[in-house]
Chain A
Amino acid sequence: MTGKQPFEAVVTEHGATVLRVCRAVLGPADADDAWSETFLAAMRAYPDLPDGANVEAWLVTIAHRKAIDVTRAAARRAVPVAQTPDDATAPAADSPGGGLDSLDGDLAAAVARLPAKQKQAVAYHYLAGLPYADIAAIVGGSADAVRRAAADGIATLRRAYPGVTATKNERRAQWTPMT
């Protein structure tokens, strides 16, 4: 009888996606902490995860909570700085996508400026490939509300970056596992 796969396989299959999600939701500075907290908590709880559970949705659920924790901790120790506008239409001069090139960095920065609900909906749907109903279960509210938040977020990103690559292909459910 074969039960759960070794936790190593979970890290290999989902580590990259969870890191993308953490970077999209939190920005590069706090993403590492959120990833570490997520996988440590997941490893702790792993023996009790029901067989056949959707591992990616489970990990994003944990990452969502950890991202909230990290954001709160950051807010507590934050020194007030100039506010970033919610509805910015031009890339900020010093981009939170730091180190990334022009368009990609700008897009990361634009994602960073989205309101939290839109950012989460975009990250969990377009980066993690979760259906809206699953995302609603994670963030609260209805699947329709999540769909609208994702659509609003994407519309904002398109307004800011009309040149951004938008392809009409299969929604990605999985990313190539790291080797």
Chain B
Amino acid sequence: MDTDDMTLDLAQAFPDSPADLRRLHEKLAAAAQRDGILDVAYRTVDSPVGPLLLAATDAGLVRVAYASENHDTVLQALADRISPRVLSAPARLDAPARELDEYFGGRRRGFDLPLDWRLSAGFRRAVLSHLAEIGYGQTASYAAVAALAGNPKAFRAAATACATNPLPVVVPCHRVIYSDGRIGRYLGGPEAKRALLTLEGAQ
């Protein structure tokens, strides 16, 4: 009998087992964390501005991404820029998920999380690192933010820094708007920016 062209339906004898695979995946995430090879852990959380992807290295939260950025694209970018050892591993994101939930519920005005800034550099990073100085419910102009970062003339660069913030919501680039009141670019779209400002009670 020629078995080359024959597929004995062994699959029936060893059936798919999604529940087992989920359990094994959880075990894998825990073991990878224990062994120090979980370079990028991620999970998604629901929010009033849509599902957010949260990713963390062992140094801290490294990326928050809106659905409009395409989470698969973001994960591929993390694999390219940080490490391909990227795994769905919710436990490492427990604290960010909790704080975001409190923030969206109006019970938190600032974030107290270790951040990994490695995805931004130079002047952009300088700009982003000053954004936490703009208080909850306040807004600042791009020029003001450029000045905070040490270069008042660089408001265009400041705008780019805000528009490419790898940690939106947590690093509050949504509080930076044009001095004439226009809302400006935002990774999550202008509706999301407006929603956050409304949540915070900014006018």
Q: Which residues of A contact B (CB under 8 A)?
A: 1-8, 11, 15-16, 19-20, 23-24, 32, 35-36, 39-40, 43-44, 46-47, 97, 100, 103-105, 107-108, 111, 122-123, 126-127, 147, 150-151, 154-155, 157-158, 164-172, 175, 178-179
Contact = CB atoms under 8 A, between A and B. Distances in A.
B12 A172 contact: no
Contacts of B32: 40, 43
Given A40-B28, A178-B18, A104 B84 contact: no
A7 B16 contact: no
Contacts of B85: 7, 43, 46-47
B112 interface: no
What is the interface of chain A mostly: helix, strand, loop, or mixed? helix
A132 to B, nearest CB: 9
A20 B21 contact: no
B3 A15 contact: no
B15 interface: yes
B13 A19 contact: no
Given A40-B31, A164-B9, A154 B84 contact: no
Given A16-B21, A19-B17, A178-B21, A39 B28 contact: yes
A111 B10 contact: yes
Nearest to B75: A6
B139 to A, nearest CB: 36
A50 B118 CA distance: 26
A166 B84 contact: no
Contacts of B61: none
A20 B79 contact: no
What is the interface of chain B mostly: helix, strand, loop, or mixed? mixed
A19 B3 contact: no
B8 A127 contact: no
Contact of A165 (B1, B5, B9, B88): B9
Greatest chain B CB density within 10 A among A7, A107, A178 is at: A7
Nearest to B40: A6
Nearest to A164: B8
Nearest to A169: B7
Interface string B1-39: 101111111111111111011001101100110010100
B35 A44 contact: yes
Contact of B13 (A5, A35, A97, A154): A97
